[in-house]
Amino acid sequence: MQIKNLFTTLAGLIACAALSAQEKLVSPVIGEREVTFSMYAPAAREVSVHGSWMDPDDNCYGTPVWTSEIEVVKMKKDKTGVWSCSIPLPSCDLWTYNFYVDGVYVLDPNNKFVQWDGTRELSVLLIEGDVTKNFTGATRHGNVELVWYDSPTLGQERRMMVYTPYGYETCNKPYPVLYLLHGGMCDETTWDNMAQATAILDNRIQKGEAEPMIVVMPNGNPSQNAAPYKFFANEDRNEALTRERNAYVNSLVMDIIPYVENHYRVIPDKAHRAVSGLSMGGAHTLAVTAAYPDVFDYICPMGCGGNRSEDFLAGIQGIKKAGYKLYWHAAGTADFAHPGAVVLDEILTENGMPHTFYEKNGGHTWSNWRIFLDTMLPLLFR
Amino acid sequence: MQIKNLFTTLAGLIACAALSAQEKLVSPVIGEREVTFSMYAPAAREVSVHGSWMDPDDNCYGTPVWTSEIEVVKMKKDKTGVWSCSIPLPSCDLWTYNFYVDGVYVLDPNNKFVQWDGTRELSVLLIEGDVTKNFTGATRHGNVELVWYDSPTLGQERRMMVYTPYGYETCNKPYPVLYLLHGGMCDETTWDNMAQATAILDNRIQKGEAEPMIVVMPNGNPSQNAAPYKFFANEDRNEALTRERNAYVNSLVMDIIPYVENHYRVIPDKAHRAVSGLSMGGAHTLAVTAAYPDVFDYICPMGCGGNRSEDFLAGIQGIKKAGYKLYWHAAGTADFAHPGAVVLDEILTENGMPHTFYEKNGGHTWSNWRIFLDTMLPLLFR
């Protein structure tokens, strides 16, 4: 072994990374009863913090940027130029937050944990507890693949994320498949980025609480072929296609399912296919099951609703006629889509269709999408 | 088809995303001769921009945060509260930049394109031209998988990124493998995040300029089992292991290569294995080829150097004795590792070992790692 001396070279690299004084601050500091945020900003006039725990009924993905429009907690400057504030410990959840420096949106520079929600980066605050127990701790991990497939329906090569559970590589058994659809302003990576979908799957499967399953997360924006903003030349920018939402729904059944069933070891029948989605993905779930009632036995739209149009009612009746094993839908009671979800619940009841309407507090939020996913997984393929 | 009316539900979601006035600003605007940056910040006292083009000899991954320490261009405020400045068009490259608002590091809020370099998010400025021609435009894409493998050598399940080229799924031929190692403060996703590695591979392969190959990007930090900061509970935090750099180098040969050769369709011999890496990954490349001279025929360390220690010289002589097909190493002339690279060049020459020392201007930078990768790929497996 002649390795040892080579690493003297590394000393230079490490010295180069020497942290400046302000980077040695720790923020956030999670105590027993409070959380303390801090930031070095000697030249700033006003620094404050806004966090998602301040508005669990939030109905927008994109939080407004300006302090005048939203609730903030002001931070105070000490004589060394460090601003800080302590707030009572929020309830357990994966929260996100940011600072405002003289009115401008800023990440916490001392917190390397950030999440991209499709429109912006957010600093992350994890308060561990019952709600978060499936976000951490799995020791058996599934793999995640970013896969390009041909979509003749949309006239593009497109990208999707595919989760294969722990053990997929080493066993011969075929798996059921959940098609998990994202919302507006999101892409094929967002369920995993924002909802810890992979971690929740790993945990539920490792604990024996969910069937091992493959999870397919397509890109639901027909004018994109893959997640924008992280690499180049991946947007089709076909305006006509943007409007063709039906075409995307058709491509799910005509292009994506055949690709998955040809390339992965799956059980290719209705009893082993589930579809779920949040918000726009919930609308896609309603649409694809109405248009193709013979494809999915497990139907789980979230944060979206029904209506009493002739088309919608005919779609629901088609699902009833074709049969299904689970109809489970979910909405936060403060979600702007909640009234529509109530209508969906009523329509299913009026049609004598067994179903569960899972309601809880909160709005159109990632906090709720995570809980809905975690709650739904044990119900599938059982 | 009963899809149409469902999409009325979507109107609410889209309205919810209505952009505030300041978000309608476009920044950056790339003109023929200049680039204009702007930002709405009526309450700020001083706003400036710092970009990587200002210091192509930069030798640190982590740019210092404080305006007093680095070159900036000051922006001017108009009466609507919008700050802006125009600068001469930088040369073609994928550059990164940020704003400072009253001394605090801020992303450009109007530029959704951001890159995570392992320590921070950076706003991206692409000036297209010859240097960037392989960063965009490929229409045939390889897939990328985040794969968990067992590492008995490090006593962990660990994660790596594996690129399989376009066509891998549909042909029967076995592929050669490049093991591509990251630098300090990076992880298994950074070659792809920061260097557009996947895009460069797609382009070179589609143009017939590089052999189709599998590229394995492991996590080179033995105390991590996977990229931190994007999901939870993934750090081993074993301080002893952090110091065990040799153990990581051993795990590359003892754990990673066997996993890859058992799970992917590869040609499992020396003639079809290449190893390359930047900075710490360059040191890993030197170390693994010294310790295991019979494993790789293509040896391409970047941004790192040799020394005249007995160990190092014995390692090089072992490589000579075992034989190899390509020894190609690279460094920017302003890189702090350049003097060591010169020593490596001299040692290889003194030992009568055919090799190429690829030198160009610039420092220890992502601009250079991208160019080195793009330059090296056509030389492998040919």
DSSP per-residue string spanning A72-96: -EE-EE-TTSEEEEEEEPPPSEEEE
Half-sphere exposure of A63 (CA within 13 A, CB side): 32
A134 lies in some domain: no
| pLDDT exceeds cutoff 50 at A318 | yes
DSSP code of residue A18: P
Residues of A in contact with B337 (CB under 8 A): 9, 12-13
| pLDDT exceeds cutoff 70 at B12 | no
DSSP code of residue A68: G
- pLDDT-based confidence at residue B11 (cuts at 50, 70, 90): very low
- pLDDT-based confidence at residue A130 (cuts at 50, 70, 90): very high
Residues of B in contact with A280 (CB under 8 A): 10, 13
Confidence (pLDDT) at B236: 52
Q: What is the CATH number of the domain that holds B153?
A: 3.40.50.1820
Token digits for A289?
């099951």
Q: Which residues pair with B157 in a beta bridge?
A: B150
- For β-strands B82-88 and B76-77, DSSP reports them as antiparallel
* Nearest-CB residue to B304 (from A9, A146, A305): A9
A175 lies in some domain: yes
Residues A114, A155 within the same domain: no
Lowest pLDDT segment from A250-264, B7-21, B114-128, B253-267: B7-21
Number of other CB atoms surrounding residue A368 within 10 Å: 23
Pick the last residue of a domain from B127, B162, B179: B127
- Say what angle helices A338-350 and A310-322 make with each other, to 10 degrees: 50
Tell me the residue length of chain B.
382
Residues A103, A23 within the same domain: yes
Q: Pick the residue with more confidence: A181 or A1?
A: A181
Longest Cα–Cα distance of chain B, Å, equals 76
Residues of A in contact with B5 (CB under 8 A): 307, 309, 311-312
pLDDT tens, position by position, B55-114: 888 765 444 444 456 789 999 999 999 999 999 999 999 999 999 999 899 999 999 898
Q: Pick the residue with more confidence: A258 or B11?
A: A258
- pLDDT-based confidence at residue A304 (cuts at 50, 70, 90): very high
Query: Hey, are the CB atoms on A279 and B13 less than 8 Å from each other?
Result: yes
Domain count of the fold of chain B = 2
Confidence (pLDDT) at A370: 96
Burial of B352 (0-12, 13-18, 19+ CB in 10 A): exposed
The nearest CA of chain B is from the CA of A271 a distance in Å of: 23
Asked if A66 is an interface residue toward chain B (Cβ–Cβ < 8 A), one would say yes
Query: Hey, are the CB atoms on A229 and B9 less than 8 Å from each other?
Result: no
Question: In this prediction, what percent of chain A has a pLDDT beyond 70?
Answer: 87
At residue A53, the 3 state secondary structure works out as helix
B positions 316-375 inside 8 Å of A (CB): 318, 336-337, 340, 364
For residues B342-365, average pLDDT: 97
Q: What is the CATH number of the domain that holds A104?
A: 2.60.40.10
ipTM for this model? 0.90
Residues of A in contact with B22 (CB under 8 A): 65-66
- pLDDT-based confidence at residue A230 (cuts at 50, 70, 90): low
Number of other CB atoms surrounding residue B172 within 10 Å: 5
Residues B39, B109 within the same domain: yes
- pLDDT-based confidence at residue B3 (cuts at 50, 70, 90): very low
* Nearest-CB residue to B22 (from A65, A230, A232): A65
Residues A53, A81 within the same domain: yes
Residues A201, A115 within the same domain: no
- pLDDT-based confidence at residue B234 (cuts at 50, 70, 90): low
Confidence (pLDDT) at A71: 85
Residues of A in contact with B39 (CB under 8 A): 104
Number of other CB atoms surrounding residue A87 within 10 Å: 16
For residues B204-220, average pLDDT: 98
For residues A323-344, average pLDDT: 97
Question: In this prediction, what percent of chain A has a pLDDT beyond 90?
Answer: 75
Residues B120, B150 within the same domain: no
Pick the last residue of a domain from A78, A101, A127: A127
| pLDDT exceeds cutoff 90 at B175 | yes
For residues A100-124, average pLDDT: 89
Residues A72, A198 within the same domain: no
Q: Which residues of A348-361 are buried (b: 16+ CB within 10 A; e: fewer)?
A: beeeeeebbbbbee
- Alpha helices, DSSP H, located in A84-152: none
A12 lies in some domain: yes
Query: Hey, are the CB atoms on A312 and B106 less than 8 Å from each other?
Result: no
| pLDDT exceeds cutoff 50 at B177 | yes
Confidence (pLDDT) at A4: 44
Residues of B in contact with A60 (CB under 8 A): 16-17
Residues B50, B119 within the same domain: yes
Residues B120, B154 within the same domain: no
A318 lies in some domain: yes
Q: Pick the residue with more confidence: B227 or B58?
A: B227
For residues B323-341, average pLDDT: 97
Confidence (pLDDT) at B9: 42
B positions 241-280 inside 8 Å of A (CB): 245-246, 249, 263, 279-280
B133 lies in some domain: no
Confidence (pLDDT) at A119: 79
For residues A7-30, average pLDDT: 57
For residues A135-160, average pLDDT: 94
B184 lies in some domain: yes
| pLDDT exceeds cutoff 60 at B146 | yes
pLDDT tens, position by position, B238-289: 556 555 668 899 999 999 999 999 999 999 999 999 999 999 999 999 999 9
Residues A227, A253 within the same domain: yes
Identify the domain containing residue A54 by its residue range.
Answer: 2-127
Highest mean pLDDT, choosing among A307-311, B59-63, B135-139, B221-225: A307-311
Residue to mutate among A5, A6, A161, A252, with most B CBs inside 10 A, is A6
Confidence (pLDDT) at B210: 98
Confidence (pLDDT) at A244: 64
Query: Hey, are the CB atoms on A103 and B5 less than 8 Å from each other?
Result: no
- Alpha helices, DSSP H, located in chain A: 8-16, 190-195, 197-206, 239-243, 245-251, 257-263, 280-291, 310-322, 338-350, 366-376
- pLDDT-based confidence at residue B351 (cuts at 50, 70, 90): very high
**Whole-angstrom distance, CA of residue A321 vs CA of residue A314:** 10
Confidence (pLDDT) at A79: 95
Residues of A in contact with B164 (CB under 8 A): none
A213 lies in some domain: yes
Highest mean pLDDT, choosing among A73-82, A229-238, B61-70: A73-82
Pick the last residue of a domain from B80, B98, B127: B127
Residue type, B366: W
Tell me the pLDDT of chain A averaged across its residues.
89
Number of other CB atoms surrounding residue A229 within 10 Å: 17
Lowest pLDDT segment from A129-143, A231-245, B21-35, B100-114: A231-245
**Whole-angstrom distance, CA of residue B197 vs CA of residue B179:** 12
| pLDDT exceeds cutoff 60 at A121 | yes
Asked if B122 is an interface residue toward chain A (Cβ–Cβ < 8 A), one would say no
- pLDDT-based confidence at residue B4 (cuts at 50, 70, 90): very low
Confidence (pLDDT) at B53: 93
Residues A321, A364 within the same domain: yes
Q: Pick the residue with more confidence: B374 or B240?
A: B374
Confidence (pLDDT) at A117: 85
Question: In this prediction, what percent of chain B has a pLDDT beyond 70?
Answer: 87
Residues of B in contact with A42 (CB under 8 A): 103
For residues A14-21, average pLDDT: 40
A133 lies in some domain: no
Q: Pick the residue with more confidence: A283 or B71?
A: A283
Residues B159, B227 within the same domain: yes
**Which single residue is written with the structure tokens 């027909």?**
A222
A positions 161-180 inside 8 Å of B (CB): 166, 169
